[in-house]
């Protein structure tokens, strides 16, 4: 397949790309090429160099060594404007949208159609509608971006890239934030673009997505491109290429013996958000909560932990009622929360590893207002070693750690506090395979020592693989409970969408049916 | 320089350790380098700069700004701002003088009352910001007006003489130890201690770095913010008393505009207005730079109009250099 297709020419090719940052070699010889009208998947663990590579293609970084060829001509991409001129558009996980502006204003940000020196609103709206139609997203050009929700914001980003005549579309983990239905829709759009001749660089951590969407896969490891394989390569082989060894078991759940209920939730209700949610989590148990994004899972978790209030119901920890809306009380009672938004809610990014690890135990380590700093340091060092946090030292800023190691720090601070019930909200989102398994093993050791874990995840194989029981939420209610041994992806999804389809769900899946 | 601060893997690190340590020290304390340059430059330009008398003078001039700035350091570390410290300083000083003279309170009690007034103002700021959800800029701007107004009301618009026992705080012990400098150093040590060693200090960094993460880690953000603003108010009271004792009287219009000098000192000292960064030592250096610059420009007979221009430029430069340095290390 190689000789003939290469003859067709490539739209983009990089050779021997190298980039070093002070103290780190980010890229150490990367070769990569992209043909017109293909979806090329970039695969690699966090820290393998994917982000550095796409930042070079989008003009954010300059390579130290190596060549970038566009249309068989060597070129240098020195700025975002250069990338735009070459027809390269990048959709990052953090969108470049202004939430307060409308869809149309965002689409034409910085280059609105003008008439007599004024913004031609009518034409802008019409052009915007055309673009939105092209990607098939149901959004009103006059609607504020902030009200769209993540999936449709992403579609608007794609529409924006198309309006800039992008020939190369780089998508950085676009599916990480989407539900299954939304992913289907994204794939449909990506295929359509591919058939129109747009070349797509697609980054994902979800191996099962690769054969569905990709044509070829380039695997990066430790800053080097280690293999270029077809997209139908078996998952085990991909994992082996990615981590450099084979991983025996993706979900190494070991069931522990169950004890008394540690967490009881009774009739928890916040009007308009979730209603009458009741369940128990026993010592030694992992309870998973599955459901679509927006089903109210995160909201329930935050309410249990006291991060937000609730209108009715009770939360009991080891039989004792917990005051609502009081994080400190929840923490004292033995709850811990690893929030969904790691950077926004889990970490103080500008502080170092030691400071972050000691955040929850800061009060306990203080006597008469004075912090026992030596003790804090010792405990932080101990937990960092136990969790195998890869860092230069306890003084490293957590901002500069990879996603998996950042997550270990968030979990670590609750381990130090010896939380009896740990609530994990999307614990492995955006984390590479190796670190995922380490987190699963940690969950095992927690339950083995009599702790309990409540795990929210949109990653169905993960929920099924790691939970003992699965609760399914739909439209703010518990739609059902399944024993993990019997649960299948289909049975979970059936429950997850059941409540939606029978309810008044115009804003979640209804939108996709309109067009 | 950047390689030293961002060392991730132990590289060839054996090369001249002393130079490395020094360059690292200056990288982390950029303002100190500026101070050294300033001292050298002013010494070369004016013969009377590097004399004991003049340096003590600089110290005394720096004291009030520095004490105010130490208090503001707490606030800025939590990503807040306090525009009321100058006015609170004046109010506290006026209350001190008024209670000691018109009300006949014994002077130690008058000092305690003045300190209480400062702390109370800070607590009100904190309550407006936490319970009232006002932006710190607005809450403390309002407090600035209220405190200044109350100072005028209590003093009926004219200076009140301080009793001798209090105005000794402006003296110089055995002609080499000005009391304001001693107070400044003491307050600086307190600030450094609070920030580095206490629960509240560490909580301030966490809140300034990421308030939501701090809250979700069980830190009582509301209480810590109240403490933060109360500290700033208390420090302002101390600064007000030091200022009044130097002049032997409390003026309702005293320390007006000082809050901006204090904020400038904190920022020159390397703190970030977006929170999570700030040290007592940096603030101290920042206050010294401002005082030294004013003093030096006076010695060089630069007109006071031009002095304002120069100081404005220095503030901008200091922060600009800091931003550039940070960008180069990232």
pLDDT of residue B16: 63
Q: For the residues A269-279, what does the mean pLDDT come to?
A: 93
* Shared domain check, A266 and A238: no
pLDDT of residue B3: 40
pLDDT of residue A176: 75
* Shared domain check, A423 and A377: no
Instruction: Tally Cβ neighbours within 10 Å of residue A93.
Output: 14
Q: Which helix (H) or strand (E) holds A298?
A: helix A297-305
Is the pLDDT score of A463 beyond 60? yes
pLDDT of residue B81: 97
Give the CB-side neighbour count of residue B13, counting CA atoms within 13 A.
Answer: 12
**pLDDT, averaged in runs of 10, over chain B (330 residues):** 40 56 67 88 90 91 96 97 97 96 91 97 98 97 97 95 86 86 96 96 96 95 97 98 93 93 93 91 95 93 91 86 68
Beta-bridged to residue B178, according to DSSP, are B172
Task: Dump strand ranges (E) for A22-72.
Answer: 24-34, 39-43, 65-70
* Shared domain check, A313 and A236: no
Last residue in a domain, options A217, A243, A269? A243
* Shared domain check, A312 and A182: no
Q: Please indicate whether, in this complex, the C-beta atoms of A348 and B199 are within 8 angstroms of each other.
A: no
pLDDT of residue B114: 97
Q: What is the mean pLDDT of chain A?
A: 87
Locate the domains of chain B by residue range.
Answer: 48-329
Residues of B in contact with A347 (CB under 8 A): 210, 213
Give the chain B residue nearest A393 (alpha carbons): B8
pLDDT of residue B12: 42
Residue A344 contacts B, CB cutoff 8 Å: yes
pLDDT of residue A503: 39
pLDDT of residue B180: 94
Last residue in a domain, options A208, A243, A278? A243
Q: Which of A39-53, A245-259, A260-274 has the highest mean pLDDT?
A: A260-274
Is residue A94 situated within a structural domain? yes
Q: How far B199 CA lies from chain A's nearest CA (Å)?
A: 5
Give the CB-side neighbour count of residue B293, counting CA atoms within 13 A.
Answer: 23
* Shared domain check, A214 and A353: no
Beta-bridged to residue A317, according to DSSP, are A263, A320
Last residue in a domain, options A383, A418, A453? A418
Residue A386 contacts B, CB cutoff 8 Å: no
Q: How far A461 CA lies from chain B's nearest CA (Å)?
A: 28
Q: How far B200 CA lies from chain A's nearest CA (Å)?
A: 7
- Within 8 A by CB and 6+ apart from A393, the residues are A353
Closest C-alpha among A354, A370, A288, A302 to residue A330 = A302
Question: At A96, is the secondary structure helix, strand, or coil?
Answer: coil
* Shared domain check, A411 and A444: no
Residues of A in contact with B8 (CB under 8 A): 22-24, 392, 396, 400
Q: Please indicate whether, in this complex, the C-beta atoms of A348 and B11 are within 8 angstroms of each other.
A: no
Q: Please indicate whether, in this complex, the C-beta atoms of B218 and A331 are within 8 angstroms of each other.
A: yes
A283 exposure class (CB count in 10 Å sphere: 0-12, 13-18, 19+): buried
Beta-bridged to residue A40, according to DSSP, are A201, A216
**End-to-end CA distance of chain B, in Å?**
12
- Strands A421-425, A335-338: pairing is parallel
pLDDT of residue B328: 63
Is residue A353 situated within a structural domain? yes
Domain hosting residue A230, numbered range: 2-243
- Within 8 A by CB and 6+ apart from A225, the residues are A29, A30, A31, A32, A218, A219
Closest C-alpha among B313, B295, B299, B235 to residue B66 = B235
Q: How far apart are the C-alpha atoms of A36 and A89, rounded to whole Å? A: 15
Q: Please indicate whether, in this complex, the C-beta atoms of B218 and A328 are within 8 angstroms of each other.
A: yes
Residue A369 contacts B, CB cutoff 8 Å: yes
Q: pLDDT by residue (tens digit) across A169-206?
A: 999 888 877 777 788 888 998 998 899 899 999 998 78
Q: How far apart are the C-alpha atoms of A350 and B205, rounded to whole Å? A: 9
Instruction: Tally Cβ neighbours within 10 Å of residue B101.
Output: 17
Helix axes B17-28, B30-45, angle to 10 degrees: 90
Give the chain B residue nearest A328 (alpha carbons): B218
User: Which among A307, A344, A351, A418 is the top mutation candidate for probing chain B, defined by the most B β-carbons within 10 Å of its own β-carbon?
Assistant: A351
B48-329 carries CATH number 1.10.3470: yes
Is the pLDDT score of A3 beyond 60? no
Residues of B in contact with A22 (CB under 8 A): 2-3, 5-8, 329
Is residue A501 situated within a structural domain? yes
The residue with tokens 């901008």 is B316
Q: Please indicate whether, in this complex, the C-beta atoms of B199 and A328 are within 8 angstroms of each other.
A: no
pLDDT of residue A149: 80
Q: How far apart are the C-alpha atoms of A165 and A152, rounded to whole Å? A: 20
Residue A60 contacts B, CB cutoff 8 Å: no
Q: What total of structural domains would you count in chain A?
A: 3
Q: Please indicate whether, in this complex, the C-beta atoms of A346 and B216 are within 8 angstroms of each other.
A: yes
**Distance from CA of residue A65 to its chain's centroid?**
31
Q: How far B298 CA lies from chain A's nearest CA (Å)?
A: 40
Is residue A339 situated within a structural domain? no
Q: Please indicate whether, in this complex, the C-beta atoms of A23 and B3 are within 8 angstroms of each other.
A: yes
What does the block give as tokens for A256?
């522990």
Residues of A in contact with B6 (CB under 8 A): 21-23, 400
Give the chain B residue nearest A20 (alpha carbons): B3
Q: How far A202 CA lies from chain B's nearest CA (Å)?
A: 27
Question: What CATH number did the domain enclosing A285 receive?
Answer: 3.40.50.300
- Strands A312-317, A320-321: pairing is antiparallel
pLDDT of residue A246: 60
Q: Which segment of A3-12, A322-331, B146-155 scores lowest on mean pLDDT?
A: A3-12
> If interface means Cβ-Cβ distance under 8 Å, which residues of chain B face chain A?
2-3, 5-9, 11, 197-203, 205-206, 209-210, 212-220, 276-277, 329
* Shared domain check, A160 and A265: no
pLDDT of residue A277: 95
* Shared domain check, A208 and A133: yes
Is residue A163 situated within a structural domain? yes
* Shared domain check, A67 and A185: yes
Q: How far apart are the C-alpha atoms of A282 and A261, rounded to whole Å? A: 4
What does the block give as tokens for B25?
């020290």
* Shared domain check, A38 and A82: yes
Q: How far apart are the C-alpha atoms of A100 and A96, rounded to whole Å? A: 12
Q: How far apart are the C-alpha atoms of A242 and A331, rounded to whole Å? A: 38
Q: How far B193 CA lies from chain A's nearest CA (Å)?
A: 10
* Shared domain check, A384 and A321: no
pLDDT of residue A414: 95
A90 exposure class (CB count in 10 Å sphere: 0-12, 13-18, 19+): buried
Do A231 and A204 form a contact (C-beta atoms < 8 A)?
no
Q: What is the DSSP letter of A378?
A: H
Q: For the residues A155-168, what does the mean pLDDT come to?
A: 88
Contacts A–B by Cβ distance under 8 A: 100
* Shared domain check, A476 and A376: no
Question: At A164, is the secondary structure helix, strand, or coil?
Answer: coil
């Amino acid at each position: 397949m190689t000789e003939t297709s290469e003859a067709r020419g490539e739209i983009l090719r990089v050779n021997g790309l190298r980039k070093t940052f002070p103290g780190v070699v980010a890229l150490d010889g990367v070769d990569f090429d992209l043909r017109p009208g293909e979806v090329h998947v970039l695969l690699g663990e966090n820290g393998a160099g994917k982000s550095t590579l796409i930042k070079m293609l989008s003009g954010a970084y300059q390579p130290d060594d190596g060549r970038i060829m566009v249309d068989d001509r060597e070129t240098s991409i020195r700025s975002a404007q250069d990338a735009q001129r070459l027809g390269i558009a990048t959709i990052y996980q953090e969108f470049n949208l202004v939430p307060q502006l409308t869809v149309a204003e965002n689409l034409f940000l910085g280059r609105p159609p003008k008439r007599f020196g004024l913004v031609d609103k009518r034409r802008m709206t019409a052009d915007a509608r055309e673009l939105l139609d092209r990607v098939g997203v149901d959004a009103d050009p006059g609607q504020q971006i902030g009200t769209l929700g993540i999936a449709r914001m992403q579609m608007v980003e794609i529409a924006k890239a198309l309006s800039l005549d992008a020939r190369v579309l780089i998508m950085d983990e676009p599916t990480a934030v989407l539900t299954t239905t939304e992913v289907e829709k994204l794939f449909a759009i990506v295929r359509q673009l591919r058939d129109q001749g747009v070349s797509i660089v697609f980054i994902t951590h979800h191996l099962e997505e690769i054969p569905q969407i990709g044509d070829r896969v380039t695997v990066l490891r430790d800053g080097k491109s280690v293999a270029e394989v077809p997209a139908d390569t078996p998952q085990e082989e991909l994992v082996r290429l990615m981590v450099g060894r084979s991983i025996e078991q993706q979900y190494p759940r070991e069931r522990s013996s169950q004890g008394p209920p540690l967490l009881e939730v009774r009739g928890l209700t916040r009007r308009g958000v979730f209603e009458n949610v009741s369940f128990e989590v026993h010592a030694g148990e992992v309870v998973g909560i599955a459901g679509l994004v927006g089903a109210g899972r995160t909201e329930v978790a935050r309410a249990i932990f006291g991060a937000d209030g609730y209108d009715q119901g009770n939360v009991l920890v080891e039989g004792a009622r917990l005051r609502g809306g009081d994080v400190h009380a929840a923490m004292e009672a033995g709850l811990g929360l690893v929030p969904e938004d790691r950077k926004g809610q889990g970490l103080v990014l500008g502080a170092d590893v030691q400071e972050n690890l000691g955040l929850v135990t800061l009060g306990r380590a203080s006597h008469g207002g004075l912090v026992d700093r030596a003790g804090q340091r010792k405990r932080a060092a101990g937990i960092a070693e136990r969790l195998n946090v890869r860092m230069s030292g306890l003084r490293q800023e957590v901002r500069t750690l990879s996603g998996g190691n950042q997550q270990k720090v968030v979990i670590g601070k609750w381990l130090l506090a010896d939380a009896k019930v740990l609530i994990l909200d999307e614990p492995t989102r955006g984390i590479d395979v190796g670190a995922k398994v380490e987190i699963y093993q940690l969950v095992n050791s927690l339950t083995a020592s009599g702790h309990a874990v409540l795990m929210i995840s949109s990653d169905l194989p993960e929920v099924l693989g790691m939970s003992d029981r699965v609760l399914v939420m739909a439209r703010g209610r518990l739609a059902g409970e399944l024993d993990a041994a019997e649960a299948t992806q289909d049975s979970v999804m059936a429950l997850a969408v059941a409540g939606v389809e029978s309810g008044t769900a115009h804003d979640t899946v209804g939108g996709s049916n309109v067009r | 320089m950047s390689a030293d601060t961002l060392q991730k893997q132990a590289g060839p690190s054996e090369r001249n350790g002393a130079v490395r340590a020094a360059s690292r020290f200056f990288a982390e304390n950029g303002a100190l380098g500026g101070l050294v340059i300033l001292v050298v430059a002013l010494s070369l330009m004016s013969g009377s700069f590097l004399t004991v008398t003049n340096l003590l003078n600089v110290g005394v001039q720096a004291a009030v700004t520095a004490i105010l700035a130490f208090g503001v350091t707490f606030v800025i570390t939590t990503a807040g701002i306090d525009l009321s410290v100058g006015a609170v300083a004046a109010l506290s000083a006026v209350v001190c003088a008024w209670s000691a003279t018109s009300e006949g309170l014994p002077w130690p009690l008058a000092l305690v009352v003045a300190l209480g007034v400062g702390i109370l103002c800070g607590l009100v700021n904190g309550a407006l910001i936490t319970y009232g959800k006002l932006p710190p800029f607005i809450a403390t701007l309002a407090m600035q007006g209220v405190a200044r107004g109350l100072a005028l009301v209590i003093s009926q618009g004219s200076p009140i003489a301080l009793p001798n026992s209090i105005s000794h705080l402006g003296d110089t012990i055995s002609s080499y130890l000005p009391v304001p400098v001693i107070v400044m150093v003491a307050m600086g040590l307190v600030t450094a201690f609070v920030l580095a060693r206490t629960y509240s200090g560490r909580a301030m960094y966490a809140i300034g770095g990421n308030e939501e993460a701090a809250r979700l880690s069980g830190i009582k953000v509301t209480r810590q913010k109240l403490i933060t603003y109360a500290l700033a108010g208390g420090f302002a009271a101390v600064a007000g008393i030091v200022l009044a004792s130097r002049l032997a009287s409390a003026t309702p219009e005293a320390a007006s505009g000082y809050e901006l000098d204090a904020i400038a000192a904190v920022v020159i000292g390397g703190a970030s207005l977006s929170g999570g960064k700030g040290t007592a030592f940096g603030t101290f250096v920042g206050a010294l730079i401002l005082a030294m610059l004013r003093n030096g420009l006076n010695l060089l007979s630069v007109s006071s109009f031009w002095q304002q221009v120069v100081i404005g430029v220095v503030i901008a430069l200091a922060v600009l250099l800091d931003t550039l340095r940070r960008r180069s290390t990232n």
